[in-house]
Amino acid sequence: MDLEGRDTLVTEARDLLAGMESTLLELETLGHSDERINAIFRAAHTIKGSAGLFGLVNIERFTQRLENVLERVREGHDQVDAALMTVLLRASDYIGKLVDAIEAGLENEEPDAALRDELLAALDQRLTGAVMPAPHKPAEPARETALLHVSLRFDPTTLERGYCPTDFILHLGELGELAYVITLTSALPERARFVPSTLYFAFEVGLVSTATPADVEACFALIRELVTLRTFGASQLSDVHRALAPAHPRQAQRLKEELERLGTPLEDVPVYAPAALGHTAAPAGPFLPDADPATSIAAPRAQAARTVFPSAKQKNADERRAPEQRIVKVDATRLDQLINLVGELVIASEGARNTVSSGKRAEDVFEAMSKVSQLVELIRDRALHMRMTPIGEVFQRFPRVVRDVSRELGKQIALEISGAEAELDKSMVERLADPLTHIVRNAIDHGIEPVDERIRAGKSPEGQLRLHAYHESGCIVVQVSDDGRGLDPERLRAKAVERGLIAVDAVLSESECHDLIFAPGFSTAAQVTNLSGRGVGMDVVKRNVESLRGDVEIDSRLGEGTCFTIRLPLTLAIIDGFQVEVAGTTFVIPLDMVVECVDMRDVSGPQRILNLRDEPLPYLRLRDVFRLDASAAVRESLVVVSYAHQRVGLVVDRLLGNSQAVIKPLGEIFRRLHGVSSSTILGDGSVALILDVPSLISAATASGHKEGPARAGAMTAEARP
Amino acid sequence: MSALAQRSLDGAHTTGHYLTVVSGGELFAVSISRIREVIHCPRITRVPLCPEVVPGVINLRGAVVPLVDLAIRLGRRGTELTRRACIVVVEAEFDEGMRPVGVLVDAVEEAIETTDDMLEARPAFGAGLRQEFQAAMLHHEGRFVSVLELSAVLSVTELEGLVATHALAPGAARTKHV
């Protein structure tokens, strides 16, 4: 399978699986409807179909079984009860695993054999245990395994048409066990006439299985017109051998050896299961004529061919695994808009060139240029937009998570999702999934109380869990809130002391107590459950979110519930920036975070707090923060920035104005440096650093906490000696 | 010893190519295998709170590349940005793969082709270098030149640590995350 086909298949299958899962959950909560059953059936059927096209037998065969069960439900012979629901959900998980394996280039490996067996057994039980026999799969009496010999003559154009005979032979092997594959090479022309895309080989295959000749034919259904196929039962093998011997002495010899190895020497061929084989076995008539019997030259080549196939396949798989190619689905209208704009840009730039070359006035040139740059900006926005994905893509997995976790814990939980249409960068959506899942699981496990406890507390027995997303000043905010028992600051404190995370006499505010759950190695669950409480998790959540330049906040009231707020930038690629200069160095502040710019008048004195329209505003002097050249500029300016409802002033030497900034990462060497998040390249080719406003704000407020807790509005004040 | 000799050079039995550079007034040699290019020193953007060994970043045709001052890294005085100062762009091993790092040197001397007999195992001491920084000695025109082990000199983990500790040095602590 080529790379593109693989990616498309993986993306499509994942979409279908997600759809199937949500329909299953709807089926469970909203009840049976033909439409839903059909939707599920269609999803399974499409997955099976595309897997079959690519010869992915793992998926195809499994999904076939699933489809059989669904078929029965669709025809009213069976019903989706709780047991079947569980099987179906787990089956969709299992197909997900198979899809993951395909993405990794490991489609020939079984990701979870135990689960597969278990699910297949459950599905089979569903098929056979029901009152009426399944329409497509009549119950078969147990049959003995038998040797079936299959002669395969492919059309020479098989390869040209994109089919690989080995795939089909391997597919055949799925029915049982391939005892031998003998390649007939006499059709190979001499080197000068050899055409690489022509298939010269014929195959003699031995299959030990319970399959009937009809099953064998079904394996080749896709290329029915390209293959001539004969099956022979064990009793006819002597005839096969006789027919083979004159033109293919080596292969006939090999067949004889293989049969001896299998314990069925040609002289006394026993009858394995004559009843099953007798009726369809073709007479051991003449084989399709092979070309000139140049076997003596061809034989060594055949040897080579046999060994080359698997290794070439292996290599292919390795190559595929290396570069991860991703597919982004883009709304067609968005693409059209972008292309229209590019068209306009081409015209505008042509116009600008004319204006310049015809020696027009400076104003005209400026006008033309501004038109071009306006278009560039629009195109930038649209291009970035194409990477945007609704956060619903992450949210859609939670109904399932909540269902599974709440069942496991015996809690009743209603999940409410809102703001699923809020968009953010595709890469962020993917990386947000893990931290969010953890928070949700945590909320169900620790936050929401068991039913009896809720009733005692006067709450409705059903816990409320809410996922909410919205945009706020260049960020996306994701909230996970529950109406559970809330975080108990005293308990958290005690636990932290017990774990040696804080000193016994440490003075912590309530929110600082809450933040303790982000400390590595902290866990308050009295008993370690399957879901959480292993003390790994919340610290990882925080780290993950911070690696996306975001942060996590907790708001909790004891007995009323907890709300986790994750704040993330919308994209990691391009921002609108505001340039400032400090000590001769240019810095860029993300424009979304800039509130206003103010002239600094009196900045002397120890107090680092400014009266801004009668509001106290703490400020940082970047010159000091970054330990730059100490001599201050004569006149300084103040940029007021805001992030997560906090405002801080940044004192700079000069304001340079707006610009677009293509974000360039600074790299690992500067990973642990705070205050600067990344860099960008300015119009003159020099590098400017982008300020990390959140870390600057938290630095300002944290030092405020530490040094002046007694002050009024401690958060906003910081005293410096 | 055999392990040392093996490690010292990729394929010491064949001829190799080395670039000699001046850093802190001394001559050093580096294997050209990981050198991407040599450029004149462009405008350096200082990154605040960073130690002198990582003086800043440069724009290398659109990519932002960190600089390492070789002299300071080898325990010498800092490189002066004279007209001869150059940046040797070297591929260094980052978590995400090979990425360029700019090595700031006083001057680049010459590219030399070496034969087996020109290379000798590094001495136990005497070069005034950290052991792991020295891959071998190169006997060139009557002089012994230390061949630098770039993977150690440009260890990203170590450089990251240097930046982190410097940023957290007293006086900066209050502006940091707690």
Contact B48 A686 (CB under 8 A): no
- Say how many CA atoms lie within 13 Å of A426 toward its Cβ: 11
Contact B48 A670 (CB under 8 A): no
The per-residue pLDDT for A630 is 63
Are A673 and B163 inside 8 Å of each other by CB? yes
A629: nearest CA in chain B?
B48
Task: Using an 8 Å CB-CB cutoff, list residues of chain B that contact chain A.
Answer: 42-43, 45-50, 54, 56-59, 62-64, 66, 94-96, 99, 156, 159-160, 163-164, 167, 171-172, 174-178
Percent of chain B with pLDDT over 90: 30
pLDDT range class, residue A579, cuts 50, 70, 90: very high
pLDDT at A269 over 70: no
**CB atoms B175 and A699 under 8 Å:** yes
Which residues of chain A lie closer than 8 angstroms to B96, CB-CB? 668
- Alpha carbon distance A170, A180 (integer Å): 11
Average pLDDT of the residues in A671-690: 87
**Between A109 and B13, where is the model more confident?**
A109
Identify the band that residue B67 occupies on the pLDDT scale cut at 50, 70 and 90: very high
Interface with chain A: mutation pick from B53, B101, B177, B178, highest number of A CBs within 10 Å = B177
Selecting from A667, A675, A688 the residue whose C-beta is nearest the C-beta of B48 gives: A675
Among A230-244, A455-469, A698-712, B125-139, which range has the highest average pLDDT? A455-469
**Residue A251, pLDDT score:** 82
Which residues in A lie closer than 8 A to residue B60 (C-beta atoms)? none
Residues of B in contact with A699 (CB under 8 A): 174-177
Q: What pLDDT score does A572 carry?
A: 63
Instruction: For an interface test with B, give the residue of A511, A625, A669, A679 to mutate (most B CBs within 10 A).
Output: A669
Inter-chain touch B178–A627, beta carbons under 8 Å:
no
CA distances from A605 to A609, A632, A719, A720 (A): 10, 14, 10, 9
pLDDT in the model for residue A80? 80
The encoded tokens of residue A671 equal 């990973």
Dist. CA A273–CA A147, nearest whole Å? 9
Interface contact A627-B66, CB threshold 8 A: no
Are A698 and B177 in contact (CB < 8 Å)? yes
pLDDT per position as a tens digit, B125-176: 777 788 888 888 888 888 889 999 998 999 988 898 888 888 776 444 333 3
Indicate yes or no: CB of A627 within 8 angstroms of CB of B163: no
Give the per-residue pLDDT at A528. Answer: 44
Find the closest chain B residue to A720 by CA distance.
Answer: B174
A228 CB burial (10 A radius; 0-12, 13-18, 19+): middle
The answer to whether the Cβ–Cβ distance between B49 and A687 falls below 8 Å is: no
Q: At what angle do helices A426-442 and A538-547 cross, to 10 degrees?
A: 160
Mutate to test the interface with A, among B49, B94, B162 (most CBs of A within 10 A): B49
pLDDT at A271 over 50: no
**pLDDT tens per residue, range A411-467:** 888 899 999 888 888 878 878 888 888 888 888 888 888 888 888 888 888 889 999
Mean pLDDT over A368-393 rounds to: 85
Chain B residue with minimal CA distance to A667? B66
State chain A's mean pLDDT as an integer: 77
CA atoms within 13 A on the CB side of A223: 30
Contacts A625 to B, Cβ<8 Å:
48, 175
Q: A567: distance to nearest CA of chain B, Å?
A: 17
- Quickly state the pLDDT bin for B69 (edges 50, 70, 90): very high
Position A286 scores a pLDDT of 39
Q: What is the pLDDT of residues A179-203, one digit of tens each?
A: 888 888 878 888 888 888 888 888 8
Question: Percent of chain A scored above 70 by pLDDT?
Answer: 81
Nearest neighbour of B175 by CB, restricted to A625, A681, A688: A625
- Tokens of residue A668, six digits: 């690992």
Interface size, chain A vs chain B, as Cβ–Cβ contacts under 8 Å? 97
Q: Is the pLDDT of residue B94 over 70?
A: yes
Q: Which of B58, B156, B167 sits opposite A687 (nearest CB)?
A: B58
Distance (Å) of CA B71 to CA A85, A587, B74: 68, 28, 5
CA-to-CA distance for A166 and A185, rounded, in angstroms?
15
CA–CA separation, B68 and B53 (whole Å): 6
Q: Interface of chain A against chain B, CB under 8 Å?
A: 585, 620, 624-628, 664-676, 679, 681, 685-689, 695-696, 698-699, 702-703, 706
* Interchain contact, B160 vs A585, CB within 8 Å: no
Q: Comparing A253 with A265, which gets the higher pLDDT? A: A253
ipTM greater than 0.90: no
Residue A331 parent element (H or E)? none
At residue B14, does pLDDT exceed 70?
Answer: no
pLDDT at A467: 93
Confidence of residue A387 (pLDDT cuts 50, 70, 90): confident
Which of A687, A715, A720 is the mutation pick for testing B, counting most B CBs within 10 A?
A687
* Pairwise CB contact (< 8 Å): B167 & A664: no
Nearest CA in chain B to A685: B59
Pick from A627, A679, A706: CB nearest B57: A679
What are the E-state strand segments in B1-148?
Answer: 16-23, 26-31, 35-40, 45-46, 56-60, 63-69, 86-94, 97-105, 107-114, 119-120, 134-140, 143-148
Out of B47, B66, B159, closest to residue A689 by CB = B47
- Distances in whole angstroms, Cα of residue B33 to Cα of each of A116, A124, A552, A578, B156: 50, 61, 45, 42, 18
- Confidence at residue A307, expressed as pLDDT on a 0 to 100 scale: 35
Predicted pLDDT at A3: 59
- Confidence class of residue A4 from pLDDT cuts 50, 70 and 90? low
Token pair for A2: 């080529």
Q: Is the torsion defined by CA of A622, A626, A632, A633 positive or negative?
A: negative
* Model pLDDT for residues A314-325, shown as the tens digit of each residue: 444 433 333 344
Confidence of residue A574 (pLDDT cuts 50, 70, 90): confident
Mean pLDDT score, A551-577 = 84
